[in-house]
Amino acid sequence: MKDDISEIKPVLSHPRDVVILSHRNPDGDAIGSSLAMKMYLESRGHFVKCILPSEYPDNFEWLPGVKDFMIHDLQPDECNKVVKKADLFLCLDFNSLDRVDKLGMAVAENKTAFKWLMDHHLDPEPFADYYYCDDSASSTCELVYRFMDEMGEKDKIKGVLADCIYTGIITDTGSFHHATNPDLFRMIAEMKEKGLDDTRLQNNIFNNQSEKQMRLLGYCLGKRLVVDEEKSIGLVFLSRKDYQNFNIQRGDTEGIINHILKIRTVKLAAFITAQPRIVKLSLRSKGDISVQALARDHFNGGGHFNASGGYMHAPLSKVIDKFWEHAGDYIK
């Protein structure tokens, strides 16, 4: 779903109070696309605030401008005031307003503001006035690049703005392991020609973990890894007690699931964690195995073909049992 670029040009032709929103538990794509579009819109004379439902992981603190994000969990009244004042909402990297929790209600209550959705997930909900969506894109940051190109302003994709776009692309593709396409590599090449220091960015993104995170990874692989070689499935789980013992904070478990897929015999991987109110599942797969279907059919979730998530209101043991009951059906 992608509306004609000519429809958004009049909307951006005069200064507006813009609020950029992205999803709870923001990842590199949510953060990178928000910062890139903030810089782009400010260069056109707009007044822009970025609001997230929850805090971002510490390993993205190096990105310029990220500390200016407003966090609804920490400052709900201030965020709600900004939302009420906005006359344009730019929704990035999510496809329905319930992905921004209580912020979604506040956005829906603002009946006069123009709503713009830019996203690469399946089946965007019909809440926006303008859609710039493509589920074949690797990331929302790829769409940011495409959008600026279609607007005739690709020359602005350099420096810090390019760093933000690269951050979203490299994290959402798992360092170009999935969801890639020929145009994506052309984009990277063009940014590299303009001075993109990808080595520095890779170091900032992936070599930026704490000792606690490394010890947690060791615990997950040593004590919480279960592999069924016959089914080609691998699973890591964490209980609430594990969260207490390691004092796990937001972002500490980022990337653990990718290590399960490194096992030669594993084609489908799950990372299941007991949260305070729900049990969350992160799912990844290799090749033609749709974890999006698995998440949609059994775990109230969805996402991408090879990378999806879901949840259940049930004890951890029952969620694990349900996963083992159904996961094998999705391996061809």
- Kindly list the distances between the CA atom of residue 189 and the CA atoms of 29, 134, 175, in Å, as whole numbers in the listed order: 19, 22, 15
Identify whether residues 171 and 61 lie together within a single domain: yes
HEC letters along 254-272: CCHHHHHCCCCCCCEEEEE
- Spatial separation of the C-alpha atoms in residues 233 and 158, rounded to whole Å: 42
List of residues 6+ apart from 279 with CB closer than 8 A: 272, 273, 311, 312, 313, 314, 315, 316, 319
Domain boundary among 182, 206, 230: 206
The predicted structure's pLDDT at residue 17: 98
The predicted structure's pLDDT at residue 122: 86
The predicted structure's pLDDT at residue 170: 96
Identify whether residues 153 and 217 lie together within a single domain: no
The predicted structure's pLDDT at residue 304: 86
Sign of dihedral through CA atoms 41, 204, 263, 218? negative
Per-residue tokens: 80 = 């709600």
Identify whether residues 191 and 235 lie together within a single domain: no
The predicted structure's pLDDT at residue 59: 86
Structural domains counted in the chain:
2
| Residue 34, φ and ψ in degrees, nearest 5 | -65, -45
SS3 of residue 250 by DSSP: coil
Identify whether residues 181 and 276 lie together within a single domain: no
Q: What is the CATH number of the domain that holds 143?
A: 3.90.1640.10
SS3 of residue 224 by DSSP: coil
Identify whether residues 187 and 223 lie together within a single domain: no
Identify whether residues 146 and 288 lie together within a single domain: no
Identify whether residues 41 and 189 lie together within a single domain: yes
- Spatial separation of the C-alpha atoms in residues 46 and 164, rounded to whole Å: 19
Domain boundary among 185, 206, 227: 206
- Kindly list the distances between the CA atom of residue 15 and the CA atoms of 11, 88, 210, in Å, as whole numbers in the listed order: 9, 10, 42
Domain boundary among 165, 185, 206: 206
Identify whether residues 181 and 131 lie together within a single domain: yes
pTM, rounded to two decimals: 0.90
pLDDT by residue for the chain (332 residues), tens digit each?
899 999 999 999 999 999 999 999 899 999 999 999 999 999 999 999 999 999 998 889 999 999 999 999 999 999 999 999 999 999 999 999 998 989 999 999 999 999 999 999 988 999 999 999 999 999 999 999 999 999 999 999 999 999 999 999 999 998 998 889 999 999 999 999 999 999 999 999 999 889 999 999 999 999 999 999 999 999 999 999 999 999 998 889 988 999 999 999 999 999 999 998 899 999 999 999 999 999 999 999 988 899 999 999 999 999 999 999 999 999 97
Q: How many degrees, rounded to 5, is the angle at CA 55 between CA 112 and CA 125?
A: 40
Identify whether residues 62 and 139 lie together within a single domain: yes
Q: What is the CATH number of the domain that holds 232?
A: 3.10.310.30
Per-residue tokens: 140 = 């929302």
Sign of dihedral through CA atoms 20, 71, 248, 276? negative
Identify whether residues 184 and 221 lie together within a single domain: no
- Spatial separation of the C-alpha atoms in residues 323 and 325, rounded to whole Å: 5
**Domain membership of residue 13 as a residue range:** 5-206
The predicted structure's pLDDT at residue 303: 85
SS3 of residue 284 by DSSP: strand
Identify whether residues 178 and 249 lie together within a single domain: no
Residue 291 contacts residue 271 (beta carbons within 8 Å): no
Identify whether residues 106 and 222 lie together within a single domain: no
